[in-house]
């Protein structure tokens, strides 16, 4: 065991984090998972039960201090821990800034004290706002809500620690990640959790707008591979966009799932299209997405029972859940630069 390289994965019991754990264990790493299980689930790691290379530490990242033994001897730190969802961030901005920004600083300080060889941060494409497409890494920043701002400021802290303290860092700007174990909370949010529960319940899919809006869906295992590539490279101090580079419409998703549709009002502050320019990461790191959209959806459908306990949304409950969204963003839609 002592000869295996050590990686720390914050949020490693969560959606993308657990896929990162899978990849690292498969590549021979010993993995230390930091997760308070407020959003992640031990079940996401259950298939590794008995694996001596995996340790789960139920810790809130805000409580971390330099010298924490979890980070001892770590080669890489992959930082996924944080809170997501748009509406809760509008309602609870202090929590988002506290966890996603100050929590990130705590992780960075632990990594610095442990002399980690690389920290790779999970950034969000929401920082670009209503962006020109395809979106490059040098696109102007225009967060539309506190979640996007908090993730961007966490990334700024990452690069600042690289600049001031010489901590080797890279950032992966994730577009629309999907896949097995995609998180489902009590908040109205990710389209897959909403649609799968509706399909299981024999209810129509609640499609926002006319369904022609498109998203650059990227499968979780492809995201994990991008993070590992960003860790193992000698390149430092860079942001890399990660998407499939092939946006899919919501109508196409409905077509793959099969079923009836109900349309709900289009939401302000959301782009009609997300589309990652992935030229930088393919050129510099040699990474390319491997899982086609149709195959990824099929993989999820094979495990659709995992969403049996997800909330069931209908137009009325969606209207109530997004009331704050329309209240704060509806009358002052900001156009993204470019």
Q: Which SS3 state, helix, strand or coil, does residue 262 take?
A: strand
Q: Is the same domain home to 224 and 323?
A: no
CA distances from 145 to 63, 90, 92, 97 (A): 26, 7, 11, 12
Q: Where in the sequence numbering do the catalytic residues fall?
A: 147
Q: Is the same domain home to 202 and 155?
A: no
Total of domains in the chain: 2
CATH number for 238: 3.40.50.720
Q: Is the same domain home to 70 and 112?
A: yes
List of residues 6+ apart from 300 with CB closer than 8 A: 178, 179, 180, 182, 192, 196
Residue 286 in any domain: the answer is: no
Q: Is the same domain home to 170 and 204?
A: no
Q: Is the same domain home to 137 and 92?
A: yes
3-state helix, strand, coil in the chain (%, to 5): 40, 15, 40
Q: Is the same domain home to 124 and 237?
A: yes
Q: Is the same domain home to 149 and 31?
A: yes
State the CB neighbour count (10 A cutoff) for residue 58. 13
Residue 270 in any domain: the answer is: yes
Q: Is the same domain home to 192 and 156?
A: no
Residue 1 in any domain: the answer is: no
Residue 141 in any domain: the answer is: yes
Residue 283 in any domain: the answer is: no
Give CA–CA dist 202/304, Å, rounded.
13
Q: Is the same domain home to 22 and 74?
A: yes
CA distances from 251 to 195, 207, 248 (A): 12, 8, 8
Q: Is the same domain home to 261 and 120?
A: no
Range of the domain at 124: 6-177+218-242
Q: Is the same domain home to 132 and 196?
A: no
Q: Is the same domain home to 195 and 95?
A: no
Residue 333's pLDDT is 45
What six digits make up the tokens of 235?
A: 């390149």
Residue 284 in any domain: the answer is: no
CATH number for 211: 3.90.25.10
Give CA–CA dist 222/121, Å, rounded.
16
pLDDT digits (tens, 9 = 90+) for 242-286: 999 999 999 999 999 999 999 999 888 788 999 999 999 999 999
Residue 184's pLDDT is 72
pLDDT tens digits in sequence order for the chain, 338 residues long = 458 999 999 999 999 999 999 999 999 999 999 999 998 999 999 999 999 999 999 999 999 999 999 999 999 999 999 999 888 899 999 999 999 999 999 999 999 999 999 999 999 999 999 999 999 999 999 999 999 999 999 999 999 999 999 999 999 999 999 999 987 766 666 799 899 999 999 999 999 999 999 999 999 999 999 999 999 999 999 999 999 999 999 999 999 999 999 999 988 878 899 999 999 999 999 999 999 999 999 999 999 998 898 899 999 998 998 888 788 887 554 433 32
Residue 204 in any domain: the answer is: yes
Contact between residue 200 and residue 304 where contact means Cβ atoms under 8 Å apart: yes
List of residues 6+ apart from 10 with CB closer than 8 A: 17, 34, 35, 61, 77, 78, 79, 80, 81, 107
Residue 164 in any domain: the answer is: yes
């Amino acid at each position: 065991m002592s000869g295996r390289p050590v990686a720390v994965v914050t949020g490693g019991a969560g959606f993308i984090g657990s896929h990162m754990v899978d990849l690292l264990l498969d590549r021979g790493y010993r993995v230390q998972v930091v997760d308070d299980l407020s959003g992640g689930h031990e079940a996401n790691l259950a298939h590794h039960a008995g694996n001596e290379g995996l340790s789960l530490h139920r810790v809130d990242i805000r409580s971390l201090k330099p010298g924490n033994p979890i980070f001892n001897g770590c080669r890489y730190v992959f930082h996924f821990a944080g809170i997501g969802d748009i509406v809760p961030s509008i309602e609870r901005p202090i929590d988002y800034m506290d966890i996603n920004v100050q929590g990130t600083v705590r992780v960075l300080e632990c990594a610095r004290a442990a002399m980690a060889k690389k920290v790779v941060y999970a950034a969000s494409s929401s920082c670009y706002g209503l962006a020109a497409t395809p979106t490059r890494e040098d696109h102007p920043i225009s967060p539309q809500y506190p979640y996007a701002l908090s993730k961007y400021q966490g990334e700024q802290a990452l690069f600042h620690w690289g600049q001031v303290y010489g901590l080797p860092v890279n950032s992966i700007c994730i577009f629309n990640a999907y896949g097995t174990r995609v998180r489902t909370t009590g908040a109205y949010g990710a389209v897959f959790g909403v649609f799968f529960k509706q399909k299981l319940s024999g209810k129509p899919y609640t499609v926002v707008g006319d369904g022609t809006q498109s998203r650059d869906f990227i499968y979780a295992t492809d995201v994990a591979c991008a993070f590992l590539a960003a860790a193992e490279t000698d390149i430092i101090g860079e942001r890399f966009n990660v998407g499939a580079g092939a946006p899919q419409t919501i109508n196409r998703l409905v077509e793959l799932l099969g079923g009836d549709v109900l349309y709900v009002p289009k939401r302000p502050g959301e782009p009609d299209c997300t589309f990652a320019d992935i030229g930088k990461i393919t050129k510099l790191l040699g990474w390319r997405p491997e899982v086609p959209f149709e195959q990824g959806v099929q993989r999820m459908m094979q495990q659709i029972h995992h969403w049996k306990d997800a909330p069931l949304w209908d137009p009325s409950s969606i209207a109530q859940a997004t009331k704050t969204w329309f209240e704060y963003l509806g009358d002052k839609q900001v156009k993204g630069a470019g």
